[in-house]
Amino acid sequence: MDMNRSDKPQSSIPPENLFHTDTPAARIALLGLLTALSVIMGYIEARIPLPLPVPGIKLGLCNIVIVFVLYRFGGLRALPVSLIRVLVIGLLFGTPVSMLYSASGAVLSLLGMVLLRKTGRFSVIGVSGAGGALHALGQILVAAAFTGGTGIFRYLPVLLLAGEFCGALIGFVDLILLRRLKSRRNEHVL
């Protein structure tokens, strides 16, 4: 270890190494923590009432975690985090129907983000922005299946824009996060 460090017991981990994922166990534990964090963000978000007359408009705070996991651990690991988040939030604060809407939005959003990130041409902000828009789209599609017909699609423009905007903001937050919380392994990824 570094000679600059004072002699500390091994159990104390320097903050910079918090995101070490050398061992699978460490990774699982970390991802679990992050999932829980995502749920909590969902709760916080639920407590913020939005005065807009549009149904289904959301800030998407929990996606801060999802995007982070995507960039730090890859899409494959982000998927279970996202799905479990949907499940827990739905069980705790929502209805089975709302879970369906969220799930659809989350899956579509994550899929899109994975693909966009793979192209390497976009930064977090763009990817997250698109993810937000896709999340809205996924929800509308499920809503359309329920309400049957084209009436519901009239909300798409508003929801797409809102989702995109919020997504971009979240991307910005993640940008800062990812830079501040660099891990030795994934340094090349922001």
Partner 1 sequence: MARTDSASEKALGSRRKTFRRADLWLLLLIALSSVLLFVFFLWKDTRIRTPVLEISQDGQVVGVYPLSEDRELLIGSKESGGYNVVRIENGKIRITEADCPDRSCVRSIAIDRRGGSIICLPHRLVLRIADGAGGIPDAVAE
Phi, psi of 184 (to 5 degrees): -65, -35
Q: Which of 111, 35, 83, 182 is nearest to 27 (CA)?
A: 35
3-state secondary structure of 86: helix
> Considering only residues 55, 80, 91, 118, which one is a binding residue for partner 1 as defined by CB under 8 A?
55
Closest to partner 1 by CB, 73 or 132: 132
Query: For the chain, how far is it from start to end, CA to CA, in angstroms?
Result: 25
Check residue 9 for interaction with partner 1 (CB under 8 A): no
Check residue 54 for interaction with partner 1 (CB under 8 A): yes
Which residues, other chains included, contact 27 with Cβ-Cβ below 8 Å and sequence gap of 6+? 21, 73, 77
- Name residues contacting partner 1, limited to 143-182 (CB under 8 A): 143, 146-149, 151-158, 160-161, 164, 168, 175, 182
Sites of contact with partner 1 (CB under 8 A): 2, 14, 16-17, 51-56, 97, 116, 121-123, 125-126, 129-130, 133, 143, 146-149, 151-158, 160-161, 164, 168, 175, 182, 184, 187-188, 190
